[in-house]
Amino acid sequence: MNPPCARCGKIVYPTEKVSCLDKNWHKGCFHCEVCKMTLNMKNYKGYDKKPYCNAHYPKTSFTIVADTPENLRLRQQSELQSQERPGSYSNDHSLQAR
């Protein structure tokens, strides 16, 4: 018995079958989830059992760094520094630097 296509659900005959990502596909149905570019066994990238082209392959994102006391201090310091403008120091600051 011939399996159904993972994309369209119609029967996939052996001459048009692509077996990949634990599924069976028609050659024309094996395309990128985003841009619909037809893929083959050499140029596809699988993610979550779905095919993608190289350009649309989901990138893994980094997790947020824990709010440790040191990280909170660094974030607060960065925010303060980004609010300061060049030349906004008072004369006291320039005297202390000498």
| Residue 82 covered by a domain | no
Residues 14-31: pLDDT tens digits? 999 999 999 999 999 999
* 70 vs 89, higher pLDDT: 70
| Residue 46 covered by a domain | yes
DSSP codes joined into one string, 15-81: GGEEEETTEEEETTT-B-TTT--B--TTT-EEETTEEE-TTTSPPPPPPPPP--HHHHHHHHHHHHH
Domain that residue 43 falls in: 14-53
Instruction: Count how many domains the chain has.
Output: 1
Averaged confidence pLDDT in the chain: 82
**CATH number of the domain within which 34 lies:** 2.10.110.10
* 78 vs 62, higher pLDDT: 78
Residues 35-54: pLDDT tens digits? 999 999 999 999 999 999 99
35 token code pair: 């841009």
Question: What pLDDT was estimated at residue 77?
Answer: 80
* pTM across the whole model: 0.59
